[in-house]
Amino acid sequence: MPGEVAPVRLLLTRPRAQADDWVRRMAALNVPTASLPLIDIAPAADPADLAQAWSALPATDLAMFVSPNAVEHFFDRRRADGGQDAWPDRTWAATVGPGSARALIER
């Protein structure tokens, strides 16, 4: 029939940890969705690298977080190591988008 819109089919490439929620939300909208996670997001392989980054913060002007996952892994590893989340007064924190900003504010 003219003017009809074909049903939307979605291929979702979100990382596995975020894909399930997206698939559920799309199903609620009757959007058939296939999940194909193309990347895995994990904490730094060597916890010493993260400990070194935290140690360098007082001499760092700006820490840039590029995703909510980056915020999560940066702060969660610190907690797992028994560290406090004290942020140096002189160090600015920035994000590239609103999701990252929300994640950072929640920390």
Q: Which domain holds residue 9?
A: 1-40
Query: Quick one: pLDDT at residue 74?
Result: 92
Same domain, 57 and 36: no
Query: Quick one: pLDDT at residue 3?
Result: 65
Same domain, 13 and 56: no
Same domain, 70 and 95: yes
Same domain, 26 and 64: no
Q: Quote the number of domains for the chain.
A: 2
Same domain, 34 and 54: no
Same domain, 35 and 51: no
Same domain, 95 and 53: yes
Query: Quick one: pLDDT at residue 78?
Result: 76
Query: Quick one: pLDDT at residue 80?
Result: 66
**pLDDT digit string, tens, across residues 32-89:** 999 999 988 888 888 889 889 988 999 999 999 999 999 999 988 777 667 666 789 9
At 94, phi and psi to the nearest 5?
-130, 160
**Helical residues (DSSP H) of the chain, grouped into ranges:** 16-28, 47-56, 68-80, 98-106
Query: Quick one: pLDDT at residue 77?
Result: 76
Same domain, 71 and 33: no
CB 73 within 8 A of CB 47: no
Same domain, 51 and 28: no
Same domain, 101 and 53: yes
Q: How far apart are CA 98 and CA 49, in angstroms?
A: 27
**pLDDT digit string, tens, across residues 10-21:** 999 998 888 999
Is 92's pLDDT higher than 70?
yes
CB 25 within 8 A of CB 3: no
